[in-house]
Chain A
Amino acid sequence: MITKRIIPCLDVRNGRVVKGVNFKGVADVASPVELAEYYSAAGADELVFYDITASAEGRKLFTDVLRETASRVFIPLTVGGGINTVEDFDRVLKCGADKVSVNSGAIRDPSLIGAAATKYGSQCVVLSADVARVHGEYRVFAKGGREDTGMEAISWIRRAVDNGAGEVVVNSIDTDGVKGGFDLDLLAHVTYYVKVPVIASGGAGSISDFITLFRTLPGVDAGLAASVFHFGEIAIRELKQAMAAAGVPARL
């Protein structure tokens, strides 16, 4: 049986990890390469690098970091942030990314997903959707969750999958940062309609939140989190052992 994936997400600015990272045994906690190696050794199934750089100079640092990581860490790498064109896909895929996630870029240009899927295959194209409840409906937000697009989220996600997105990251703005568990209601809606892998994001606070997620929603394939991993609140090895003990298939 295929295992449920655990995915740490690293925000990278100018080639360094943003947000504090609080580990023992990592030489340079601000180095994405070191952190990627640490997480890979700890049992992470995949890594997401999110580039929050604004400048072209920063972009260059990011691709350097990506190339170095992909030369030393041999698990799937997904890259997001600043992906607006097919050329952006090309830029990161050449440097060792396996998948590319698009968010605002796909909202600005809905043809981007189809164009990228045709060129690189659906397995490369990940839709990342920031979703929040507004007046009783799920809405898609753009620009890092700051701007309500007015679009209904489930239909947006379905459209992106129809256009060729091979995987969907569903990030709940409502539960993000609260550490009270994943947004099971939103995820239940998405997994009901979407037949590609769904990655849950936003709300993980404890090991039991992941176990509840996978037990409640068999259609969720992976759990993504950032700060709970970076601050050592959840150790990935411990999490995966707890998943296996609870009957959730996990790669140990």
Chain B
Amino acid sequence: MTAIVDYGAGNLFSLVSSLSFIGEEAIVTGDPDKLRAADRIILPGVGAFGEAAELLRTRGLTPVLKQIAAEGKPFLGICLGMQLLFDESEEFGRHEGLGLIPGRVVPIESLPGWNKTLKIPHIGWNPLTLTRPSTLFREVSDGDCVYFVHSFCATDCAAAVTATAEYSVTVTAAVEKGNVFGCQFHPEKSGNVGLRILRAFCALLNTGTDPMFKGGDGRC
């Protein structure tokens, strides 16, 4: 069973539907006990980083999520949910994230080499470049397209990057550090490719308790 973290940010209809479509039982909850009891955690999010980080804090979820991630439970951040995995963001001021993956979040147009004629937000289907093997992408091929909607982008996180997308600059599309995963794009809106990514995530078991999982699945 996968728990989708409910902290009042964003529309969860499609995410819940996509999980149920692939046969995964999903609950939407902000209850720490239910989050702890779930097999996997998805942190969704649409909107502004500072506001979302503040919502997690005021609901007491920041320490809960940090602890759950540290215990080895598979943890996936999607879009803003991925950005929240990092140390900090520069979206409308400086805001602290969950610090689960080293790196920070900056405006796309602040990246060196940005082509000013391109549009922000980065909206639409962009091919992925798979930069190293990842459990999430075991059924995804280099060049498969996924759907992005974002204006900010993770940087200084090279050690964790598993996929990128070219948008004049190289956009961090996916990250992975142990049991913690992040997708800048929306797998729940990325057709069959996205469903394959969600299926791969939902097949993951707790790395802390499952000896079968350790080192398996082509992870590096």
Contacts and interface: CB of A to CB of B under 8 A. Distances in A.
Given A75-B191, A251-B145, A2 B125 contact: yes
B17 interface: yes
Contacts of A123: 46, 121, 123, 149
Contacts of B188: 74
A44 to B, nearest CB: 9
Contact of A197 (B119, B125, B192): B119
A197 B47 contact: no
Contacts of A3: 124-127, 145
B36 interface: no
Contacts of A167: 123
Interface string A219-244: 00110000000000000000000000
A5 B149 CA distance: 14
A196 B119 contact: yes
A67 B166 CA distance: 33
Interface stretch (A94-102, A134-142, A152-160): A94-102
Contacts of B149: 123
A40 B195 CA distance: 13
B147 A2 contact: no
A2 B122 contact: yes
Interface residues of B, number: 31
Interface residues of A, number: 29
Interface in B50-71: none
A74 B18 contact: yes
B123 A197 contact: yes
Interface in B172-220: 188-192, 194-195
B110 interface: no
Contact of B125 (A5, A93, A96, A195): A5
B17 to A, nearest CB: 4
B21 interface: yes
A27 interface: no
B114 to A, nearest CB: 14
Given A166-B121, A195-B119, A221-B124, A70 B17 contact: yes
B61 to A, nearest CB: 21
A75 B14 CA distance: 9
- Most chain A beta-carbon neighbours within 10 Å: one of B126, B166, B190, B191: B191
B92 interface: no
Given A74-B188, A74-B189, A251-B145, A2 B18 contact: no
Given A71-B17, A74-B21, A96-B17, A197 B46 contact: no
Interface in A35-49: 40, 45
Contacts of A2: 122-126, 148, 167
Contacts of A67: 13
B131 interface: no
B17 A251 contact: no
Contacts of B124: 2-3, 5, 45, 197, 221-222
Interface in B1-43: 11, 13-14, 17-18, 20-21
A49 B147 CA distance: 19
7 contacts: A1-B127, A2-B126, A3-B125, A5-B124, A74-B14, A123-B123, A251-B127
Given A123-B123, A221-B119, 19 more contacts: A2-B126, A2-B148, A3-B125, A70-B14, A72-B21, A74-B188, A74-B189, A74-B191, A74-B194, A74-B195, A75-B190, A76-B147, A76-B189, A93-B11, A95-B13, A197-B119, A197-B124, A221-B123, A251-B127
Interface of B: 11, 13-14, 17-18, 20-21, 46-47, 119-127, 145, 147-149, 166-167, 188-192, 194-195
6 interchain residue pairs of minimum CB distance: A251-B145, A71-B17, A251-B125, A96-B13, A3-B125, A2-B124
